[in-house]
Structure 1
Amino acid sequence: MKLLRYGAPGAEKPGLLDTAGRVRDLSGVVADIAGDTLRPAGLKALRALDPETLPLVEGTPQDDLRLGACVGNIGKFICIGLNYADHAAEAGMPIPQEPIIFNKWTSAVVGPNDGIQIPRGSAKTDWEVELGVVIGQPGSYIDEANAMDHVAGFCVINDVSERDFQLNRAGTWDKGKGCDTFGPTGPWLVTPDEIADMDNMDMWLDVDGKRMQTGSTATLIFKIPHLISYCSQFMSLQAGDVISTGTPPGVGMGQKPQQFLHGGEVVTLGIAGLGAQKSKVLAA
C-alpha cells in the first residue's frame, strides 16, 4: 500500500494511492495516517479494503492536489548521521563505531512539495536525500532479528541542514537540523510488502536539474534492523515515530568548491519505489 495525507496545511486528510495513481479518501475509515492506524492491526484493516469502493479525490497528487507529510502527528523524528560509507569519506570523517543519533524537531516537517525556507542568518543551507523508516509496532529493547516487525513503512525524506548552525554554533547538530521546513516527508508511506530489497534502493537528488547525489542503500553502514534495535535501547519507539537513516555522498558541503542553497533553487529528489519530491527554495 501507498498511504498519504492530502489537503491544505494543517487540515490534511488520510488517503490511499490506487494502482492508477489516483488518491482515494480514507477519512471515512481512519482519522489520520498516524498512531494506531500504523500498527499491524491498523494496516491489516486498510489492506483488506477494496480501493475502488473508496471515494475518489479530485486532482492529481503533487500537481493540483497538495500532499502533506505522509505521517501525521510524528512523535519523534530521529536522524542518523554519517551512515553511508561513501558520505563519511566525502566528509573526511571516520566511519562511526556506533550510530550517530540526532533529532529533527517535528515543527520542521512539511509536505513533499512544500517550499524550503532559508532561515535568517543562514549561509550554508544544504540538502540530503534520505530513506525514512516509520515505526508501526511500538517497542523498547527490540531484538535486531525482530526489528522489521516494528516497521509500518518507508518514505523519502530531505534532511535539509544548515551546516554553519550544525557545526560551528556550539553544542549538538540539532541546531542546524530542525529549522522550520527542514523536513519534507513523503510523498507517500510505502508498506514493506511493496519493497523488493530495502538494502539495494537507488537514491538521487538534483538541484536545478543538476544531479548532485546518486547513491544506494547498499552502502549503508548500519542497516535498518540494526538502527531500529539500536535506537530502541535509548528510547521507546512509538507508532508514527520516524527514523531518517542517513544520506549518500553529493551534499553541498562535500562539493569542491562547496555549494549551498540561497533561495530560488528547485530541489528534486527520490528513492526507487518510494516516489519523489520537488521543493522550491525560498530566500530568508
Structure 2
Amino acid sequence: MKLSSLSANEKPFIGVRRADGIVNVNAAIPGLPTDVGALLQSPAYDAQQLADVVERTAVSSLLRDDEVRFRPVIPAPGKLLCLGLNYVDHAAESAHRAPEYPVVFGRYPTSLVGHGEPLVLPSVSTHFDYEAELGVVIGKTCRKVSREQALEHVAGYTLLNDGSIRDYQMRTHQWTIGKNVDATGALGPELVTADELPAGAKGLVLRGILNGTIMQEANTSDMIFGVADAIAILSEVMTLEVGDMIATGTPGGVGFVRNPPVFMKPGDVFEVQVERVGTLRNHVVAEGPGPLKGSAL
C-alpha cells in the first residue's frame, strides 16, 4: 500500500493511492486518525480493512493529486534520525573517511514540508544545498534488536530531501543548526509499505534531480550501513518507537563540493526519486518578511 498524509479544504485525512486515483479512507472509516504517523500508532490500524476500503471505493469518489495538499507523510515523528556520510562517494567528496560507526544527527518537524510544497531559501543564507535520501519508518517498537530481526520492525519507506544550509552547518562541529532551518527539507509523498519492496529496500536506484538534470545517482545497496544495520545499531542505545524515522543518507553529487558550487535558488525544482517508492518534488521560494506558517502541518 501507498499511504499519504493529505488535506483538502483545510481538512486533514489519510489517502491511499490506487492506480486510478487517491482514496480518502477517513471518509469510509469514522474515527480513524488523520495522518499516517498517528495511524501507525493507533490500535485502529488494520491493513486488511484499509485494503478492503480501497478496493471497493467507487471511481467517482477518487481524488486527483491536484485536488489535495500533501503534508509530510509523518508530520511529527518522535525521532527523525539522519545518517551522515552513509555512501562512500559522498564521504569522499566531503573530505571524510567512510565512517566505521554511523554519523547520526537529528532533524525536527518544523524543518519539513510535504510533496509539492515550497522549500524556503532563508534570508540569512544563499548556501541552500540538496540531499536526496531514502527514509525508513518504524512500525514496531524495538530496543536492542538484532540485525536478523531488524527489518521486522519497518512499516515502510518514503523519500526525504535533507536540505542543508551549508554555511550554518559548517559553523559548528555539530550539524544540527544547518539541518533544521524552517521549511528547508521535504518528506513524502507517500509511505510505501515494506511488503511492496525488496527486504531493506535494497537494490533500488536513487536519484536527485535539479531542474531536470540528474545531480545524484546511486543504488540503495551502496549504503555503508543498510537499513537492518542502522536499526540494530541505533536500537542498541535508544528505543525506536512506532512512527520514528531514519534518513539513510545521501550519495555523492551534492552542490557544495562542485566547482563552482551549485546551490538551490528561488524558482528551482528539486526531485528525489527512488525506484518503486516514487518521486518527491518541491520548488524553491525566497523567505518572505513574515513568519512561516504551517510548514509542517
Which aligned pairs between 1:60-139 and structure 2 lie closer than 5 A? Answer: 60-61=64-65, 63-139=66-142
Which aligned pairs between 1:1-284 and structure 2 lie closer than 5 A? Answer: 1-8=1-8, 11-20=11-20, 22-27=21-26, 28-29=28-29, 30-32=32-34, 33-35=36-38, 37=40, 42-46=45-49, 48-54=51-57, 57-61=61-65, 63-167=66-170, 169-196=171-198, 198-284=201-287
Q: Per-residue CA shift, 1:18-40, capped at 9, x if unaligned?
A: 133x1111114321312453579
Instruction: Pick closer, same or farther for the CA change 1:40–1:229 going to 2, 3 Å.
Output: farther
Tell me if the contact between 1:39 and 1:239 (Cα under 8 Å) persists in the aligned partners: no
SS of the residue corresponding to residue 252 of structure 1 reads coil
How far the C-alpha of 1:64 sits from its partner, in A, is 3.7
Runs of 4+ in 1 over 6 A off after TM superposition: none
Tell me if the contact between 1:164 and 1:176 (Cα under 8 Å) persists in the aligned partners: yes
Unaligned runs of 5+ in 2: 288-297
How far the C-alpha of 1:9 sits from its partner, in A, is 9.4
SS of the residue corresponding to residue 16 of structure 2 reads strand
Q: For 1:155 and 1:137, how far apart are their aligned partners in 2?
A: 16
Q: Per-residue CA shift, 1:226-253, capped at 9, x if unaligned?
A: 1011111222111111110000111101
Q: For 1:43 and 1:215, how far apart are their aligned partners in 2?
A: 35
* Letter of the structure 1 residue corresponding to residue 156 of structure 2: G
How far the C-alpha of 1:262 sits from its partner, in A, is 2.5
- TM normalised by structure 1 equals 0.92
Unaligned runs of 5+ in 1: none
SS of the residue corresponding to residue 186 of structure 1 reads strand
- TM normalised by structure 2 equals 0.88
Tell me if the contact between 2:8 and 2:68 (Cα under 8 Å) persists in the aligned partners: no
Query: May I ask how many residue pairs the two structures share in their alignment?
Result: 281
Q: For 1:281 and 1:114, how far apart are their aligned partners in 2?
A: 9
